[in-house]
Every structure is written in structure tokens, then in C-alpha cells.
Structure 1
Amino acid sequence: MRYYVLDRGDQLSAELAEQFHQLAAQRHFVIDAVSPEIVISIGGDGTMLHAFHTFVNHIPNIAFVGVHTGHLGFYSDWKSDELAQLIELMSHDFISAENTARIVKYPLLELTIHKKSGTTTHVALNEFTLKGVYGTLVAQIDINQASFEMFRGDGICVSTPSGSTAYNKSLGGAMVHPSIEAIQIAEIASINNRVYRTMGAPLLLPKHHECNIYPNQDQRLLITIDHIVLPVDDLISVSCKVSEQKISFARYRPYPFWDRVKSAFLR
């Protein structure tokens, strides 16, 4: 089995990464930083985001496993004292080829960013946000190439189902099960008065629907794609839709989505 480990960089996560390497060597696993079959994220959800974007160009060929060492590990199935058990189950797959791991696939968000300087395409695991740097964001929002609303406020957040439990939740968005292929648009401090009106509620768009955001010109803006921050001052538009790609997680034991939600927010 070809594997790679990314850790958060704190002492505990680094020690667990070294422990994992030692256990993996005993099972004849091979470290592969270029095209691993399994990527182990040791830390928190931020570490998983980093792992995802590190191997974003190899997403169809990789499965991810999360080991939790932080305060909230929504993407993590395993605790710090369970590495031996995880390696044992991974080794069973490697030796017997019975594929006991269940591969769970989550939808991703595809972004096409049009700037005066060029066009780029990105995918996000959690969310994309667009905000004004020095003041209010003013932007026209189209849905399926039809004008929908003129937004005024601090910003806009577009999330995936798995990302719906992150920033989107703090904005009053709904938590969406990852089996639903959709994206969610949530407003960040929108202005609603006699002059300016926005929808004032989150919107859920299914696969094959598209949202296009056209900010007023000459605004200095800030784009975030998960943990990546991109200052932009020549933005023309951003197109958002459900990606054709999905992220794969290797589940060596059951951990239903709603159990994750309960563990993260109610316990």
C-alpha cells in the first residue's frame, strides 16, 4: 500500500505521524509523496483541508483518512490512541485484498474565477467566500444565467454539504447530508432595508444548477477557498456549481454523518 501522512505540526501530531510511519513500515507499506493510495491527515479539520489541496490534482485516485488530535475533527474517524487499530485494518486490506474499507464519496464545489488577468478553476472541500476588503460587497447574483438579486453586505459564502457544518452553519445555513449533491449560498451580514433587499435566507442549488456572482467593478475583494486566501482587485465574476469530482474517504468502521454532527455540536 502506498501512503502519505500530513500532520498539523504540533508536538502530538508530529509524534503520531512518526508512530504511524513505524507501524506502517512493519506492515511493508510504502511512503509515496507523489501518488499515494491513502493520505492520512493527523490533526484537525484544517489539516484535512491542507491534505485535500496538497493532492487536489490526484483526487480521483486517493482516499483520505483523518486522525483527530484537535478540539473538533469533523473529518476524522480515529483518535490519537487508535493508530494500531487503524494500521491493523489497513494492513488487512493490503494483505487480503478484500477491501474491507468502505469508500465514502462527498460532493465538492467547483469554482471558475474570471479576472481581467485570466481565468482559473478551483475545487473546494468546505466553502468559497467572497468579501469586500474595505467596505460593503455589492454584487449581482445570477442563477442559471438569469438575474436573481443584487446583493449588498459583508460577503457571500457558498458551501458544500460537508462544509455546511463549518462557516455556513455560523451564518444560519442548513446542515446538509453529503449524499445530497448540492451547493448552498449563505449571506454574510446582508443589508435589508427600504432601499436594499436581498433574499435574506440560504439557498440550496442542486447539481447541474449554477450560481454566477458579478461584483461591481473597482472593488478590492478577498476570495477564500477553504483555508486559501486570495486578494483580488480585478475580479469580473465567479461561477459556482457542484463539481463532477468527489473526495473519497476510506472508512474502516462505520461513522454515520449524523453521528458526526451530534458528536461535534451536541456532546
Structure 2
Amino acid sequence: MRFAITARDDERSRTLRDQLEQELIARGSVLDAATPEIIISIGGDGTMLQAFHSYLSQVEDITLVGIHTGHLGFYADWRPEEMDELIRHIADENLATVEYPLLELSIDYADGSHNKLLALNECTIKSFNQTLVCDLSIRGDYFETFRGDGLCISTPSGSTAYNKALGGAIVHPALEAIQITEMASINNRVYRTIGSPMLLPKHHDVEIRPVNPIDFQLTYDHYASIVHQNVKSIRCRVSDKKVKFARFRSFPFWERVRESFLAEERS
């Protein structure tokens, strides 16, 4: 099996990377950073997001698996002491996968140009020095005018990340949906928003149109932050593409949630 490794830049992660690379090659796997079949992330969820974006153009052809070397991450479910078992699974090509939905962003600019992005966790839209004011339309129909600090649009797997910190719901990734969660919305006698997170199914999209021609910051997966000017609209939907994660052993979603947020950390 062709493999690549992405490791966090710390001594423990680098050491595990070197050991894993040597063991897999010794067992007949091929190191291929250009066209891997499986990508092993060593670190935490941030390292996994980095790996995802590094191989975004090949997302439908790759499988991701994570070893955590710090606090237990939501995506990295193998521990360093379990590396021998993971190596055996990879070398035997005993590969079962689960698929998670992705968020697609389509950005149209006033000059007619266009940009498209994919996110594994979420995107956020914030203004710099003033309240963000934008019209939201769902399936082409006007829904509300949002006023506040910003908006977070998340995937089901990303619902446990920044979305959860904002008070959004945790969503099982078997549901192909996106979630819209507000950041400090303004609600008074003059201005109103829905004031609660909303789930949109795959066949629905939300279009976000800035009311005023302001500069704002769009961040996706906390991995890349872009200052946007002259944006006409941002359309968010469930992508037709999905990301695959290796599941060499059973690790149900709600067990993963409990391990990440409720269980005591194991040393």
C-alpha cells in the first residue's frame, strides 16, 4: 500500500513518524508522498486538517488515519502505544473506511470572478472593525438579515469543533447536512435574527450576501484565513465530495464524542 505521513513539528511526533515509516517499508508498504492511498497524521486534529488540505485535490482517492501525540483529538483515535497494531492493519491492507460530508463554499465577486473552497470542519465569516451585516437566503428565498460578530457554517464532523464552542449542536456525520451558528447576534426591538443554530440538509444551500461593501475575514478549518473585498455572495452547501477515514476497528461516533469531551484523559 502506498502511504504518506504528516507529523506535527515536535520531537515525539517526528520520532514516531520515523519509526512508522521504517516499519511500514520493512513490511512492504511504499512511501509515496505524491500519490498515496493512505495518509497517516501524527499529532492532533490540527495536523489532520493540515493533511486534508495538503491532499485536497486527491480527496476522493485517499484515506486518512490519525495517531494523537497530545490530548485526544476527535480525528486522531490511535495512541502511540498502539502503533504496532496500526502498522499490522496497514501492511495487511485490512482497510475499512467511513465517509464524512464536506462543506463547499462558492464565492462570487463583484468583478465577476469566482472561487470555490472545501472545508472539513467549518468556515467562519467575520468583519473587522464593525458589525457584520448580511442577508441570508435559503434555497434562493430570503430568510433574514443577520447583524452580529459573525457566522459559523460547519459540517457534522466539524460540529464538535468551533461550532460546539458557539453553542451549536453536535451532529452525527451520517447526516449529510450543514449547520449555521451565529456569533453574538444583535436581537432587540429593531433587529431580529433566528437566534439559534440551524441544520440544512444536502439539497438545501444558504447564500450569504454582505449588505455593505466591507472587508471581512473568511476562515476555513482554522487553517487558512483570507481577507475578502468586493464579495457579492457566498454560497454554502453540502459538497458532492466526501472525505474517507480508515476504521481498522470499531469506534462509534458517540463513543468518540464521549472520549473527546466527557471521559477522563488517559496518560
TM-score (norm 1): 0.96
State the match for 2:70 in structure 1: 70
Counterpart selection for 1:131 from 120, 126, 132: 126
State the match for 1:235 in structure 2: 231
Once the two structures are superposed, residues 159-203 of structure 1 have per-residue CA deviations (whole angstroms, 9 ceiling, x without a partner) of 000000001111111100000000000001100111110000000
SS of 1:61 mapped into structure 2: coil
CA distance in 2, matches of 1:14, 1:113: 38
Query: 1:20 matched to which residue of 2?
Result: 20
Greater mean deviation of Cα atoms: 139-148 or 208-217: 208-217
Map 1:89-128 → 2, pairs under 5 A: 89-93=89-93, 100-117=94-111, 118-128=113-123
Amino acid at match of 2:187: N
Asked if the contact 1:108/1:125 (under 8 Å) is kept, the reply is yes
Alignment partners' CA distance in 2, 1:171 and 1:77: 24
Amino acid at match of 1:110: E
Aligned CA RMSD, in angstroms, stands at 0.9
Match of 1:210? 205
1:96 is aligned to none
Of the three residues 143, 167, 172, the one matched with 1:172 is 167
SS at match of 2:212: coil
Shift of 1:101: 2.4
Q: How many residues align?
A: 261
Tell me the TM-score normalized by structure 2.
0.96
Which runs of 5 or more structure 1 residues have no equivalent in the other structure? 94-99
Q: Distance in 2 between matches of 1:40 and 1:51?
A: 8
1:264 paired with 2:260, answer: yes
Residues 142-221 of structure 1 aligned to structure 2 (within 5 Å): 142-221=137-216
SS in 1 for 2:168: coil
Are residues 1:86 and 2:90 paired? no
**SS of 1:47 mapped into structure 2:** helix
Q: Distance in 2 between matches of 1:261 and 1:194?
A: 39
1:71-120 deviation per Cα after TM superposition (whole angstroms, max 9, x unaligned): 24100120012111100111122xxxxxx322100000011011235211
CA deviation string 1:208-253 (max 9, x = no partner): 1010000123211000011211111221110000000000001111
Q: Name the structure 2 match of 1:248.
A: 244
* In structure 1, distance between residues paired with 2:105 and 2:139: 15
Cα distance between partner residues in 2 of 1:58 and 1:36: 9
**Separation (CA, whole Å) in 1 of partners of 2:192 and 2:171:** 26
Q: Is the 8 A contact 2:153 2:180 kept in 1?
A: yes
Gaps of 5+ in 2: none
Q: For structure 1, which segment, 180-189 or 66-75, has the greater mean C-alpha deviation from structure 2 after superposition? A: 66-75
Residue 206 of structure 1, CA deviation: 0.2
